[in-house]
Amino acid sequence: MAKKRNLMGVFGALLIFASTMSGCGEVGGYDNGGVSSSLGISSSSDISSSSEDASSSSDTITNPNDSVAYGGQTYRTVKIGEQVWFAENLNYNASGSICYDERQANCAKYGRLYDWSTAMGLPSSCNSNTCSSQIQSRHKGICPDGWHIPSNADWANLLNFVDSENNGYGAEEAGRYLKATSGWNSYDAVVSGNGIDKYGFSALPGGWYSSSYANFNYIGENGYWWNTYEYSSYLAYYHYMFYRYEYARWFYNAKSGLLSVRCIKD
């Protein structure tokens, strides 16, 4: 079964790359379908030694009903392994953020969409320039006090923990356990895109906005969440889950595109 999952993961990555390069605007980049991609680790400096500790913990969900108030809204939080995450996409009305299709109902359900510099709380010039010197190890960005924008290592620890706890490897099935039980489109009449939300993370597919083409795409199908890591002066990494597949992985995107945000506790 592991071999089959890995083959499907590679095949899925090729399909995603092809569809991305054929008209999806900014969302694109390189995903080799391998372990490093699945774990969300892009460089040796971003590897966290705590990933093994997270995967060995038996403390999965201890506070699914805890919450934090921020910006006029109360967000559910959840502890997964040694991490505490928002259990909802951020809906903080920062300047430059938007609702999908500019509809408030989409903000209420899926949260707002942000370009990278807005999510990071950095000058807009950082969307076209390298700002690595301004990125903190726990970078608050537009998250509330005591919380931060997740790094590649934060995401790696989450996906590694979830997949290894369920006898997987390399986040090949992490999406299934993190996706909400409703809100995702079905792939066909038989296969649902919903997950089982085993840990209360309740990932939802908020889609994205292309600043280059001025259009919205993939709400109900795909979820994209920024992290802190830059790929280049105008590209930054994000993590994603697709309605068609069970895995969760990373890619890079134009910083000027608008994606979702999740916050993680310091």
- Residue 160 in tokens: 């590694």
Helix and strand totals (H; E) in the chain = 7, 10
User: Is 152 in contact with 143 (CB distance < 8 Å)?
Assistant: no
Q: Which amino acid is at 219?
A: I
Could you give the 3-state DSSP secondary structure of residue 226?
A: strand
Strands (E), 93-182: 147-148
Does the pTM surpass 0.85? The reply is no
In a 10 Å sphere around its CB, with 0-12 CB exposed, 13-18 middle and 19+ buried, how is residue 61 labelled?
A: middle
Q: What is the pLDDT of residue 63?
A: 55
Q: What is the pLDDT of residue 53?
A: 34
Q: What is the pLDDT of residue 143?
A: 98
- Residue 1 in tokens: 């079964």
Could you give the 3-state DSSP secondary structure of residue 33?
A: coil
Q: What is the pLDDT of residue 170?
A: 58
Q: What is the pLDDT of residue 180?
A: 97
- pLDDT per residue of the chain (266 residues) written in tens, 0 to 9: 443 334 333 333 333 333 333 333 456 433 322 222 322 323 323 323 233 333 333 344 445 558 999 999 999 999 999 999 999 999 999 999 999 999 999 999 999 999 999 999 999 999 999 999 999 999 999 999 999 999 999 999 999 899 888 876 656 889 999 999 999 999 887 789 999 999 999 999 999 999 889 999 999 999 999 999 999 999 999 999 999 999 999 999 999 999 999 999 99
Q: Which amino acid is at 10?
A: V
Give the residue among 149, 169, 157 at the shortest CA–CA distance from 246.
169
Q: What is the pLDDT of residue 39?
A: 27
Distance CA 73, CA 62 (A): 22
Q: What is the pLDDT of residue 163?
A: 86
Q: Name every residue whose Cβ is closer than 8 Å to that of residue 125 and which is 6 or more positions away in sequence.
A: 117, 131
Cα four-point dihedral sign 92, 232, 217, 244: negative
Q: Which helix (H) or strand (E) holds 73?
A: strand 73-80
